Amino acid sequence: MPTPLEFFYSNRKRIIIVAVVVALVAVLAVAWSVGMNVNHGVTSTATSKAYFGLAGNAGSGVAAYDTSAPMAAPEIARSAIMMPPVPSPTAGQTAAEVDQKIIKTGNLSLVVVKAEEAAARITAIATELKGFVQSSSVSELPDGTHSGNVTVRVPADQFETALTQIKATATLVKDENVSGQDVTEQYTDLQARLRNAQAQEETYLAILKQARTVDDTLKVQEQLGIIRGEIESMQGQIQYLQNVTSYSTISVYIEEEPTISAPTKEFRPLDLIKQSVQTLIDAFQALATGLIKLLIIGGGLVLPLALIAWVVYTLAKRRNRG
């Protein structure tokens, strides 16, 4: 039997011919596949342009549809699923070309003469500047002084004025922290995306008018539901940014200077004696309860163990005697 090397040399011409034929077949198959893909792409592009009205309208923002001629059912379904993005009128607009949107916040810690009067004055300042109070609270401390927190919202263009006037109500500004977050780019991007989504919604509505079957209608309505959800989400984000940038937030912590008075109104010796006696009684009661539980629970555990130990000891003692 010839070896593989001898077989190759004896049949090398046949092997080379077979290899060449296989290679040619492979090349022809690849060429045919590429040609089919190109033709399919050209056909799909032509069909898309025909149904989306893109031919001769490349520069328009929204594709023009011919609603007078109903679309075929497969094309309606394909159009509803493969909707091309619609360029927004604000595309390419930079943050510098629109009004800046900045979220301004301020935090103050103030020492005041009277906390209640200071809280009332801060409220009045916010109202005078066309703002409003978001929250306000004042409470009494154990030493008889008062402290509180007041949060106000004022128009963004009155932010610095409000800070100055609020600080004027204090005898000491212990801490001041002011920050600003520029969200102009985010706001501009949301507006552009919203316009784009609204344009797509109009296009879907135009397609919906041409639907002739229940299946086509359901497919288009499904896409409409998705795009409307996106529109509502972006509208909510835009509204939030408009709110936080139109009105700035100032949070103020106020406290009175500690005063020394003897005796303070909280000092009641008789009440303290009663409380101390009651605390002592509670302590004795807790101790007695603990001892009782220890005796009962401990006895219940120790007695059986002691009995077992006595029995073992007795038996061992008898065995040793025997």
pLDDT tens per residue across span 165-219: 999 999 999 999 999 888 888 888 999 999 999 999 999 898 888 888 888 889 8
Q: Which residue has the tokens 């930079």?
A: 94
What SS3 string covers 262-313?
CCCCCCCHHHHHHHHHHHHHHHHHHHHHHHHHHHHHHHHHHHHHHHHHHHHH
First-residue to last-residue Cα distance in the chain? 96
- Residue 172 DSSP SS3: strand
Distance (Å) of CA 184 to CA 95, 181, 215, 286, 313? 6, 9, 43, 65, 90
Q: What is the pLDDT of residue 145?
A: 87
3-class SS letters over 192-222: HHHHHHHHHHHHHHHHHHCCCCHHHHHHHHH
CB 147 within 8 A of CB 258: no
Determine contact, residues 162/152, Cβ cutoff 8 Å. Answer: yes
pLDDT of residue 23: 67
Which pLDDT value is given to residue 9?
A: 56
Low-confidence spans in the chain with pLDDT less than 70: 1-16, 18-98, 259-268, 322
The whole-angstrom separation of Cα 254 and Cα 246 is 26
Contacts of 13 (CB under 8 A, 6+ apart): none
Question: Can you tell me which residue has the tokens 């709110």?
Answer: 243
The Cα–Cα gap between 137 and 150 comes to 6
Tokens of 231: 């529109």
Q: How far apart (Å, rounded) are the C-alpha atoms in residues 291 and 299?
A: 12
Residue 25: the pLDDT is 66
Compute CA distances 310 → 121, 235, 304, 318, whole Å. Answer: 84, 85, 10, 12
The answer to whether 167 and 254 are in contact (CB under 8 A) is no
pLDDT of res. 100: 83
3-state secondary structure of 261: coil
Structure pTM? 0.48
∠ CA 115-121-125, rounded to 5°: 145
Of 253, 256, 254, nearest to 145 by C-alpha is 256
Residue 150 pLDDT = 94
Sequence-distant (≥ 6) Cβ neighbours of residue 156 within 8 angstroms: 102, 104, 245, 246, 247, 248
Q: Are strands 247-256 and 146-155 parallel, antiparallel or unpaired?
A: antiparallel
